[in-house]
Amino acid sequence: MRVVSGTSIVILSLFAASVDAYAQRFGPDPSAEECQQWAAALEAGGAEAVDVLRRGVIPLCPAVAPSALTKALRVARSSTDTAYLRPLALDAGSVVDPAVFRAALDLAADRGSTDRARITALLVVVAHLGRAQDVPGWTVADFLTREVPADEFCLFGPAYSHQTAIDNGLPNDYEREAARVIDSILHRNGESRFVRSFARCARSAVGPDIPPSERIGAPAQRGWTSLTVEGLGTLVLSYDGKEIGRAEATSTLRTRVQR
């Protein structure tokens, strides 16, 4: 009589779950009815939404995935549940689409959202920029629960070959848009330290030809003048909180603003 140990049972169970997930991801295409059911479950939230995300089936539905995941990112603002946010980062990251990308940028920039939700959004942006969502020693779950030390080497490599399930393209300036949001997190006063620690990593996903988009000064009191660098060298001069002029710069400018 053959005796199967507890460890063997666990391994067999994990193997069976992996086979089931593989069959769902790479087996026959789901029907339109199945896709609608999964999208409805995701929108309903709760345990059913977590199950749909964990199974990774929404990216198998090109007709409903972009809208379903866009909605999921918008309603994730108050979430701290890593059981929901981790698979959301993976699924939304695998569906490259302008609406999903915009929703991720909006969520990442929203300081009224939870730190974990914002980092989830940044992970989606990283994937849409064509990079993997993990680095040596750090998984998606790690990024959602641990602050990245300032001296930690954090550089996202190329995306995995199977990472993208749907590619509907992105706007021509998508890298610049990502840089603006990430750099705002990095340089804006009062920003969450946790989110900022991940934004430093996320900046490595932006192409090296996109220079920092950085606010150099801000009005400290009425009557002060501020100078801002936006995107690729657009200089914005404002007085008393109102823009009074702008010009295209030919090089990066760093200066101190004085009255």
Domain ranges across the chain? 32-54+62-212, 214-259
- pLDDT range class, residue 76, cuts 50, 70, 90: very high
Q: Please state the pTM of the whole predicted model.
A: 0.74
Per-residue confidence (pLDDT) for residue 4, from 0 to 100 = 37
Q: How far apart are CA 214 and CA 204, in angstroms?
A: 16
Q: Is the pLDDT of residue 251 over 80?
A: no
Asked whether 244 and 237 are in contact (CB, 8 A), the reply is yes
Tell me the average pLDDT across 231-241: 52
Range with the lowest mean pLDDT among 4-18, 165-179, 207-221?
Answer: 4-18
Least confident range of 12-16, 50-54, 65-69, 208-212: 12-16
pLDDT digits (tens, 9 = 90+) for 124-175: 999 999 999 999 999 999 999 999 999 888 889 999 988 999 999 999 999 9
pLDDT at 58 over 50: yes
Residue 187 and residue 139: Cα distance in Å, rounded?
Answer: 25
Residue, of 216 and 226, whose pLDDT is higher: 226
Amino acid at 193: R
Q: How far is CA 49 from the centre of its chain?
A: 19
Distance CA 213, CA 82 (A): 31
- pLDDT, mean over the chain: 81
